[in-house]
Amino acid sequence: MNHLNSILIEGIIVRDPEVKAVSRNGDGFVVFTICSHRYFRRPDDESGQWQDEELFMDVLAWGDLGARCIELIGKGMTVRVAGRLKVSSYKSKDGTKDFSKPAVLAQTVEFRRKKVSSDGAQQTEEEDISLNSEGGKEAQTIAEPVIIYEY
């Protein structure tokens, strides 16, 4: 029986996508970092002030999905990433400490961008883009983002 390893995270890209490595068959992977915010109030805080908890997470996208990410997304954009969690282990240079670093292996990357007319002016209409691990691109003009599940 397989166990479920699935993650859905939304946040703002804080570092432009960059190609990190290329495998023997020519597929490379792209890494970008997103920051996801969680806003909450502490029950023991009488002031009622909202707290902001930030989570920075690296996202890895392989092959065609990575190539499309390099082409279409950048720092400052809000994205929704569906994929699985992977934890990599590292040793310090002197070999005395072990480190681990989680990352999301992307299967789907969704974002919204403004449509640009042929004369270069931005229109108020937006299009939702969903990139999936098969390299496909689905675009729809709608009011709310589309969530696509791939199993």
Domains for the chain: give ranges and CATH numbers: 7-38+53-140 (2.40.50.140)
pLDDT digits 0-9 by tens, 67-102: 888 888 899 999 999 999 998 888 888 888 888 889
Closest CA to 17 of 64, 54, 58: 58
Cα–Cα distance, 150 to 9 (Å, whole number): 15
pLDDT digits 0-9 by tens, 45-68: 888 788 889 999 999 998 888 888
* In the chain, alpha helices (H): 63-72
Closest CA to 59 of 38, 73, 40, 45: 73
Q: Would the pTM of this model clear 0.85, i.e. be above it?
A: no
